[in-house]
Amino acid sequence: MRTKIALVAGLLFGTSLGASVLTVASRADAPLQGCAGSDDRADIAAGEGTIAISDRAIVVVGNKRAGCQYMRPVLDSGLLRHLAVREGAGTAYVDDEANADHLVVVTEAGTTRIASSAEITHPSWSAEGDLAWAADMTSLRLWSEGSKAVTTIARPSAATAVFSPTFVEGGELAAVGQESVAGVDVYEDDQLNNLWGFDAATERWSKWTDFEANADRWSVIRTPLARPDGSLLFVRITGRASATVQPRFQLWTASDAGARKVRKLPGEMFLAGSRNGRLMWNVFSDRCGDWELVVESSEGLTPVGCGSVLVDPVNLTDPDLEVHDDETTTSASAAEPVEMGVIVGDFESKGAAAAVAETLGGEAKVVTNRAVPLAVRPGAWAVVTEVTGSVTPGEALRTVKRAIPTLRAKVFLAPLDTP
């Protein structure tokens, strides 16, 4: 897929974001690619530097050259995803385990694991060291290190889901709200998103954007990031459900005063913070086999190293899935046949999934969490091909992988039965 993308450098962004790790005592430098060891062992707890998730590890990307990474071992048993770093506060990340998630918070005072029966996504730091995250995309949670208390913030009344909370300058909390669209199933994911701001004093939401959608045209928002002036940068993705072409990606800015488009983006890419005062992005690359960090420069986008910040890994299976890439492994009894499918996902947009379905042809179709809850996370899109007839699951899996070799890491088997 895309490793180098030509992009004219534009806005500079001065807010640092990053990723994850476990106890301070367990961190030891294990540099990759011949890098010299870092002298700074307090980077994770202090929230300093370019920090990201790579496979099942936390990496700190050094400044000596592109790809110079220092490993920070973790002891977690689940899938590491979604992370937030704030200088002077620390690092928070999600340890996604089967049927249970933990938000792991690493500060100079130590490590705290916040357990949740709900799916945790999109942690975000405030200037005061508080943390916010989304719980099952139905509400937000707010945690204070001082009190250790977790409080709940209900989603906007006009929204069917809420995610990606982000603290803006002045202490206000903004988030992405999913809204219903006439003619579209109420459970359909991500047909329309808008940004909302939450005033803690009045406990009221106000709408920051006024995007619209219909049964065919959709508009979603990804990776909102705060700017020093109190506004947000975010990626807006638009497309048509009836079209099989790639959707349009754009960089926008918004505040309580309104929103405007900054520029078009050359393809699928998501904000990942900043590095040396320049915007940093996540793009998918063949070199990493997953997400790669790139930073804006006068020459376009310069590779920084492999790793993800606010996007999910595509080369690892979600532990909530009961069936993995092994045709002999299911959680059901052999006496109870389970309908199986080959899944390609997750995708951040409907258009990206539709393009893959068009490539596969046949009975391939685009699905969401509503249709295949065991295989597709809420808020994402995937492509499913049912395993039918005399074809074994293993044969079906290999057929799909051969048809889309650049997306092999996204292909897996899963049950299609609704639990």
63 has a pLDDT exceeding 80: no
186 and 266 share one domain: yes
In a domain, 319, yes or no: no
Res. 404: pLDDT tops 80: yes
Which CATH number characterizes residue 99's domain?
A: 2.120.10.30
Question: What pLDDT is attached to residue 229?
Answer: 87
More confident residue, 196 or 335: 196
At residue 21, the pLDDT reads 23
- pLDDT at 212 > cutoff 90: yes
Question: In the listed set 249, 282, 306, which residue is the last one of a domain according to the structure?
Answer: 306
Cβ-based neighbours of 365, under 8 Å, separated by 6 or more: 357, 383, 384
pLDDT in tens, 8-27: 233 322 233 333 222 222 23
- Clarify whether residues 280 and 377 are in a common domain: no
Give the pLDDT band of residue 43 (cuts 50, 70, 90). Answer: confident
With a pLDDT cut of 70, the percent of the chain lying above it is: 78
Checking if the pLDDT of 405 tops 90, the result is no
Domain end among 252, 282, 306: 306
Q: Are residues 199 and 263 in the same domain?
A: yes
User: Is the pLDDT higher at 215 or at 102?
Assistant: 102
Q: How confident is the prediction for the chain on average, in pLDDT?
A: 79
Query: Domain tally for the chain?
Result: 2
Residues 212 and 357 in one domain: no
21-25, 168-172, 193-197: which is most confident: 193-197
Query: When comparing pLDDT for 182 and 206, which is higher?
Result: 206
Whether residue 362 sits in one domain with residue 298: no
pLDDT of amino acid 35: 55
Look at residue 232 in the predicted model and tell me its pLDDT.
95
Backbone angles phi, psi at 113, to 5 degrees: -115, 115
- Whether the per-residue pLDDT at 321 is higher than 60: the answer is no
| 155 domain-assigned | yes
Considering the domain architecture, whether residues 277 and 411 belong to the same structural domain is answered as: no
Averaged pLDDT for residues 288-315: 86
Q: Is the pLDDT of residue 223 over 90?
A: yes
Domain boundary among 253, 285, 306: 306
Exposed, middle or buried: residue 210 (CB in 10 Å: 0-12, 13-18, 19+)? exposed
Range of the domain at 351: 340-415
Question: Has residue 74 got a pLDDT over 60?
Answer: yes
379 inside domain: yes
Q: Is residue 125 part of a domain?
A: yes
Q: Does 270 lie in the same domain as 375?
A: no
CATH number at residue 411: 3.30.70
On whether residue 5 sits in a domain, the answer given is no
Q: Does any domain span residue 6?
A: no
Examine the pLDDT at 322 and tell me if it is beyond 60: no
For residue 34, pLDDT over 80 is answered with no
The answer to which of 58-72, 221-235, 305-319, 359-373 has the lowest mean pLDDT is 58-72
- Is pLDDT of 419 > 60? no
What pLDDT sits at residue 418? 56
Is residue 157 one of the residues assigned to a domain?
Answer: yes
Most confident of 53-62, 184-193, 219-228: 219-228
Residue 384 lies in a domain: yes
Question: What average pLDDT does this structure show over 154-180?
Answer: 92
